[in-house]
Copies of this chain bind each other. A is one copy, B any other.
Amino acid sequence: MSTFDKLTELFRAFPGIGPRQAKRFVFFLLSREPSFLQELTDHIATLKHDIVQCTDCFRFFAKRTSAPLCPICSDKSRATGELMVVAKDTDLEAMEKSKTYEGKYFVLGGTIALIERKNGDALRLKELTSRVEKEVKNGTVKEVILALSANPDGEHTADELRALLTPYGVTISMLGRGLSTGSELEYADAKTLKNALKNRSS
């Protein structure tokens, strides 16, 4: 296989990239200066050295010192007794950006799919239960907040995690449902309306 075809194949593995766009990426690289390609390969080569995974919450963060914990996990002021479980790094980022949560996180690594358990293996379920068990024992976590998307996979994951964590005697909560920004009443489903009515505010 030519370098062109091999590179096209590698780009096809990127999320959301089909065969046509993968090929366009290769033509794009061919059209750029050598310095662009050099910069790209340099940064890809050092990526895994510079960005490491936090040993506590499993999110990726830019390594600055030899400390194994990310800035959030090493921040004492965030020891609020709450542990928020999110599916992936970008969910954590969205939550941080909202400046609304002050506790700690746990990145599960995906969701438990309703239909096929494709991601099942890669999920950090054992790491989650170990952490909850230890923190409950130490009295450092009193509530686990399941912050999962309001779709079938998210709901299924929440159900499974609830079953998994219930034995540890911790309060388990879920993000509230309601009208999300942009929702039109006319198209809202019964579950959304029910919760929006229940959670109404003065």
Contacts and interface: CB of A to CB of B under 8 A. Distances in A.
Interface of A: 2-4, 6-7, 10, 13-16, 21, 23-30, 34, 36-37, 39-41, 43-48, 50-51, 60, 62, 86-91, 93-95, 97-101, 145, 147-151, 154, 171-202
Give the number of copies in the complex.
4
B181 A178 contact: no
A-B interface, 4 closest residue pairs, ranked by CB to CB distance from nearest: A176-B199, A178-B178, A98-B190, A3-B50
A155 to B, nearest CB: 9
A39 B60 contact: no
Given A41-B44, A43-B7, A88-B186, A30 B60 contact: yes
Contacts of A101: 193, 197
Given A29-B47, A40-B44, 18 more contacts: A3-B46, A4-B62, A7-B40, A10-B40, A26-B47, A30-B60, A34-B48, A44-B44, A87-B185, A95-B193, A100-B193, A100-B194, A148-B185, A151-B184, A173-B202, A175-B193, A176-B195, A180-B188
Contacts of A195: 176, 178, 199
A79 B48 CA distance: 52
Most central of A27, A89, A174, A192 by chain B CB within 10 Å: A192
B173 A176 contact: no
30 contacts: A2-B62, A4-B60, A6-B43, A10-B36, A24-B90, A30-B48, A34-B48, A37-B44, A37-B48, A41-B41, A41-B44, A98-B190, A100-B194, A100-B197, A101-B197, A149-B186, A150-B179, A150-B180, A150-B183, A154-B185, A171-B202, A173-B200, A175-B185, A175-B196, A176-B179, A176-B197, A177-B178, A177-B179, A178-B195, A178-B199
